[in-house]
Amino acid sequence: MNLIRLMARPLLAAPFIADGWSAVRDPDPHVKRLECVRPIVRKVGVDLSDEQLRLATRAMGAATIGAGAALSLGIGQRGAATVLAATALPLAVVNHPVWTASSREERSAGRDGLMRSLALFGGLVFASMDRRGKPSVGWRRRNRREQRAALREAKARARQAVDA
Task: Decide which of 80 and 95 is more confident.
Answer: 80
Please state the domain count of the chain: 2
Q: Within 13 Å of residue 81, how many CA atoms lie on the same side as its CB?
A: 24
CA angle 96, 52, 101 (to 5 degrees): 20
Whether residue 137 has pLDDT greater than 60: yes
CA angle 45, 49, 50 (to 5 degrees): 135
Q: Which residue has the higher pLDDT, 100 or 162?
A: 162
Q: Which domain holds residue 122?
A: 3-133
Q: Do both 35 and 93 map to the same domain?
A: yes
Average confidence (pLDDT) over 106-126: 87
Give yes or no: residues 82 and 145 share one domain.
Answer: no
Whether residues 119 and 155 fall in one domain:
no
